[in-house]
Amino acid sequence: MTASPQHPLVLLDLDGTLMDSAPGILASVTHAYRTLGLPVPDAATLRSFVGPPITESFPSHGVPSEQVEEAIKLYRADFAETGMWDNSVFDGVPAQLERLRDAGCTLAVATSKPEVFARPITERFGLAPLVDAVFGAPLDEQGTKADVIAKALATLGRTPADGPALMVGDREHDVVGAREHGIDCLGVTWGYAAPGELEEAGAVAVLDDVDQLAEQVLRLLG
pTM higher than the cut 0.85:
yes
> Is 13 assigned a catalytic role?
yes
What is the residue-wise DSSP string for 114-183?
Answer: EHHHHHHHHHHTT-GGGSSEEEEE-TT--S-HHHHHHHHHHHHT--GGG--EEEEESSHHHHHHHHTTT-
Residues 6 or more apart whose Cβ sits within 8 Å of residue 159: 153
How far apart are the C-alpha atoms of 188 and 172, rounded to whole Å?
11
What radius of gyration, in Å, describes the C-alpha atoms of the chain? 17
Residue 192 contacts residue 16 (beta carbons within 8 Å): yes
> Pick from 83, 58, 82: which is nearest to 72 by CA?
58
Please identify which of the residues 13, 20, 162, 170 carries the catalytic annotation. 13
Domains of the chain: 9-20+88-221 (3.40.50.1000), 22-85 (1.10.150.240)
Residue 6: predicted pLDDT:
64
Residue 50: predicted pLDDT:
85
Residuewise pLDDT in 10s, the chain (222 residues): 444 446 999 999 999 999 999 999 999 999 999 999 999 999 989 988 987 788 889 999 999 999 999 999 999 999 989 999 999 999 999 999 999 999 999 999 999 999 999 999 999 999 999 999 999 999 877 789 999 999 999 999 998 778 899 999 999 999 999 999 999 999 999 999 999 999 999 999 999 999 999 999 999 998
